[in-house]
């Protein structure tokens, strides 16, 4: 595995990591490096449009993030990238931003790339324990279909190399409710059962942080990189 | 097979977080945050903990706040290249610029203590700029004769006059994402966590509470969850002494460390050292849910633990 970024043509797939000024993108860059992807931090639409694939990460508030994406022209660039059917990986807030609207502190329109909305997680306390919000920590992701079903819904998705019930690292207070049937996995947290990852066309998005989910999370990056190379060959 | 049926909620998953105290380039461990012993190079411990199933790592530069040094940056930069779990760094971070630098070095979250106490608005500003989930407020507390707890700064040296529980509530209101509560009285003693302190704080704030200071055996970790109501448990000696005992050191490495201490096995009579897989198996056996250690090979453990 290459240990560092290089300027030669060793990496031929270039990934733009959307940088709108919030959060730590270092771990996303490191995960890309680990699976042989050449990544650049993108603050301009040009960088995004020139890339073979795009990662939309994010922490912080939905409204602020959308504002920053719109002002920088990155929002339009992202929409164009989806029209061109280039692979997009949305992580955490990045997953939420893909939706039409969020109910985080009021009502904010999102990128509208996927149909659906973003709603708050419910805190709950029972004899089982106190499920605080934000949900911080490791939870399991489960196939929506029964593993015995004829069609494996994780096949040929970035989750393809994972066991049902794999543990992933979450940090969030809101969760995505997709309108269409694009959910790949669900996760339970107290009374909540939410969509923890989804896929539609070349878009894959997850509420957890695969770059902070240990070796299992890196398998997602690995499978995404493979998908990227495949789609690059087709374009 | 399991997830589609409705069943009663399982308890929340708790996190096991090795705490690595840093002095200069070294991993150290003291008692009551004083009387430090050098244990070795931090990255070596960090990598081993990552590989054996730690849920997060916590680095604290325990002298930076006193001398304004920032060795932490270099260590964080190195560690974050090798581990793919969340990394929290604290000690000596005073400003938004300090926070920015450590995040750029690869930390996922920062732990703030002294600077936040001197200027609570820093919490609000930092949460707004970097996101609440990035800001952990570290509270070091000492029991007062009246049964309440006082928050201290500078590794338990400076009184603040602040009630630890009320300060936690205020920090949460200002936008902190998590509270790290350390009992100075118990720290490094192996006598167990201050469960009363932990529970008071955990029940007073809506955000997750990380409990720290005093773990001497696995049972203490279980108590922090069942009685202390903590969402995550931090520990140092318990894991460090196990690591030192079971990992032969290279000569070059041994030169730099406290040999006499290690020849004694690095142990302390009060510490029943343990590794993360054994600890997690014990916790799961007690009905405490956590991510299984070594998740690559133990797929059978990934099944719903009911």
Q: Which domains does chain B have, with CATH numbers?
A: 15-286 (3.20.20.70)
* Partner-chain contact A171 B133, CB within 8 Å: yes
Residue B63's pLDDT is what?
81
- Chain B CB contacts of A134 below 8 Å: 132-133, 177, 207-208
Answer whether residue A8 is part of any domain: no
Q: Is the pLDDT of residue A7 over 70?
A: no
Residue B25 sits at the chain A interface (C-beta within 8 Å)? no
Residue B3's pLDDT is what?
45
Answer whether residue A1 is part of any domain: no
Residue B109's pLDDT is what?
95
Of B227, B245, B238, whose CA–CA distance to B279 is shortest?
B238
Is A182 annotated as catalytic?
A: no
Q: How far apart are CA A130 and CA B47, in angstroms?
A: 31
DSSP bridge partners of B71: none
Answer whether residue A30 is part of any domain: yes
Average pLDDT of the residues in B286-292: 94
Measured between CA atoms, how close is B8 to chain A, in angstroms?
A: 8
Is the bond into A134 cis (omega within 30 degrees of 0)? yes
Q: To 5 degrees, how large is the angle CA A154–CA B16–CA B141?
A: 140
Average pLDDT of the residues in B276-303: 76
DSSP bridge partners of B260: none
Strand A116-120 with B149-153, pairing = unpaired
Answer whether residue A4 is part of any domain: no
Residue B306 sits at the chain A interface (C-beta within 8 Å)? no
Could you tell me which residue, A3 or A87, shows the higher pLDDT? A87
| Best mutation target, A129, A161, A186, A195, to test chain B (most B CBs within 10 A) | A129
Give the number of other CB atoms < 10 A from CB of residue A107.
10
Answer whether residue A77 is part of any domain: yes
Residue B292 sits at the chain A interface (C-beta within 8 Å)? yes
* Plot region of B195 (φ>0 → left; ψ -120 to 50 → alpha; else → beta): alpha
Is B21 annotated as catalytic?
A: yes
* Partner-chain contact B9 A146, CB within 8 Å: no
Residue A55's pLDDT is what?
97
Measured between CA atoms, how close is B193 to chain A, in angstroms?
A: 19
Q: What is the ipTM of this complex?
A: 0.90
- Chain A CB contacts of B302 below 8 Å: 140, 163-167
> What band does A200 get if pLDDT is binned at 50, 70 and 90?
very high
* Partner-chain contact B295 A214, CB within 8 Å: yes
Average pLDDT of the residues in A138-151: 82
Residue A144's pLDDT is what?
82
Three-state SS string across chain B, please? CCCCCCCCCCCCCCEEEEEEEEECCEEEEEECCEEEEEEECHHHHHHHHHHCCCCCEEEEECCHHHHCCCCHHHHHHHHHHHCCCCEEEECCCCCHHHHHHHHHCCCCEEEECHHHHHCCHHHHHHHHHHCHHHEEEEEEEEECCCCCEEEEECCCCEEEEEEHHHHHHHHHHHCCCEEEEEECCCCCCCCCCCHHHHHHHHCCCCCCEEEECCCCCHHHHHHHHHCCCCCEEEECHHHHHHHHHHCCCCHHHHHCCCHHHHHCCCCCCCCCCCCHHHHHHHHHHCCCCCCCCCCCCCHHHHCCCC
Residue of chain A nearest B8, judged by CA positions: A128
Of B171, B175, B181, whose CA–CA distance to B131 is shortest?
B175
Q: How far apart are CA A218 and CA A221, in angstroms?
A: 5
Residue B133 sits at the chain A interface (C-beta within 8 Å)? yes
Q: How far apart are CA A122 and CA A134, in angstroms?
A: 9
Is B140 annotated as catalytic?
A: yes
Average pLDDT of the residues in B179-192: 94
Answer whether residue A9 is part of any domain: no
Residue of chain B nearest A136, judged by CA positions: B208
- Chain B CB contacts of A190 below 8 Å: 9, 12
Q: Which residues, at least 6 apart from B73, have a Cβ–Cβ distance to it below 8 Å?
A: B101, B102, B105
- Chain B CB contacts of A212 below 8 Å: 84-86, 108
Chains A & B: contacts with CB separation below 8 Å: 139
Q: Is the pLDDT of residue B192 over 80?
A: yes
> Into how many domains does chain A fold?
1
Q: Which domain holds residue A168?
A: 14-234
How confident is the prediction for chain B on average, in pLDDT? 86
Least CB–CB distance from B106: residue in A27, A215, A216 = A27
- Chain B CB contacts of A26 below 8 Å: 80, 103-106
Residue A6's pLDDT is what?
43
Least CB–CB distance from A165: residue in B85, B131, B304 = B304
**Both tokens assigned to A228:** 């990227």
Residue B302 sits at the chain A interface (C-beta within 8 Å)? yes
Q: Is the pLDDT of residue A72 over 60?
A: yes
- Chain B CB contacts of A142 below 8 Å: 2-3
Q: How far apart are CA B281 and CA B268, in angstroms?
A: 23
Residue B147's pLDDT is what?
94
Q: Is the pLDDT of residue B104 over 90?
A: no
Residue A92's pLDDT is what?
95
Look up the CATH number of the domain holding residue A160.
Answer: 3.40.50.880
Answer whether residue A217 is part of any domain: yes
Catalytic residue from among B98, B140, B194, B273: B140
Q: Is the pLDDT of residue B172 over 60?
A: yes
Average pLDDT of the residues in B37-63: 93
Answer whether residue A49 is part of any domain: yes
């Amino acid at each position: 595995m290459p240990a560092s970024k290089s300027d030669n043509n060793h990496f031929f797939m270039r990934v733009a990591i959307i940088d709108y000024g919030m959060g730590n993108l270092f771990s996303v860059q490191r995960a890309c490096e680990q699976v042989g992807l050449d990544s650049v931090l993108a603050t301009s639409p040009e960088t995004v449009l020139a890339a073979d694939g795009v990662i939309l990460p994010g922490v912080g508030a939905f409204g602020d993030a959308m504002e920053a994406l719109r002002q920088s022209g990155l929002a339009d660039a992202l929409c164009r990238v989806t029209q061109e059917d280039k692979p997009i990986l949305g992580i955490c807030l990045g997953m939420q931003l893909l939706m039409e609207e969020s109910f985080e502190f009021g009502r904010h329109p999102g990128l509208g790339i996927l149909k659906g909305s973003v709603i708050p997680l419910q805190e709950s306390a029972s004899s089982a324990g106190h499920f605080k919000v934000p949900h911080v920590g490791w939870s399991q992701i489960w196939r929506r279909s029964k593993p015995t079903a004829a069609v494996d819904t994780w096949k040929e998705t970035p989750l393809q190399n994972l066991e049902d019930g794999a543990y992933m690292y979450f940090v969030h207070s809101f969760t995505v409710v997709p309108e269409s049937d694009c959910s790949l996995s669900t996760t339970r947290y107290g009374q909540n059962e939410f969509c923890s990852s989804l896929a539609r066309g070349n878009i894959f998005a997850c509420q957890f942080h695969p770059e902070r989910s240990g070796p299992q999370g890196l398998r997602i990056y690995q499978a995404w990189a493979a998908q990227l190379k495949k789609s690059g060959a087709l374009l | 097979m399991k997830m589609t049926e409705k069943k009663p909620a399982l308890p929340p998953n708790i996190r096991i977080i090795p705490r690595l105290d840093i002095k200069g380039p070294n991993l150290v461990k003291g008692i009551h945050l004083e009387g430090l012993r050098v244990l070795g190079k931090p990255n070596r411990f960090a990598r081993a903990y990552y590989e054996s199933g730690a849920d997060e790592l916590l680095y604290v530069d325990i002298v930076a706040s006193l001398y304004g040094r920032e060795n932490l940056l270099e260590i964080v930069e190195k560690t974050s290249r090798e581990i793919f779990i969340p990394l929290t760094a604290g000690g000596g971070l005073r400003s938004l610029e300090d926070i920015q630098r450590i995040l750029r070095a690869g930390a996922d979250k920062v732990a703030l203590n002294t600077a936040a106490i001197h200027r609570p608005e820093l919490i609000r500003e930092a949460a707004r700029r970097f996101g609440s989930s990035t800001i952990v407020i570290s509270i070091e507390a000492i029991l007062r004769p009246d049964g309440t707890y006082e928050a201290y700064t500078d590794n338990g040296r400076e009184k603040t006059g602040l009630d630890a529980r009320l300060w936690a509530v205020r920090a949460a209101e200002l936008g902190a994402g998590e509270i790290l509560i350390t009992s100075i009285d118990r720290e490094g003693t192996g006598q167990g966590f201050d469960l009363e302190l932990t529970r008071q704080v955990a029940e007073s704030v809506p955000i997750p509470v990380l409990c720290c200071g005093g773990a001497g055996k696995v049972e203490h970790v279980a108590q922090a969850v069942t009685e202390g109501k903590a969402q995550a448990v931090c520990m140092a000696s318990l894991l460090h002494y196990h690591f030192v005992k079971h990992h032969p050191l290279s000569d070059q490495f041994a030169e730099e460390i406290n040999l006499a201490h290690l020849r004694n096995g690095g142990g302390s009579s009060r510490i029943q050292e343990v590794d993360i897989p054994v600890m997690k198996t014990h916790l799961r056996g007690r009905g405490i849910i956590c991510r299984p250690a070594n998740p690559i090979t133990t797929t059978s453990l990934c099944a719903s633990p009911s």
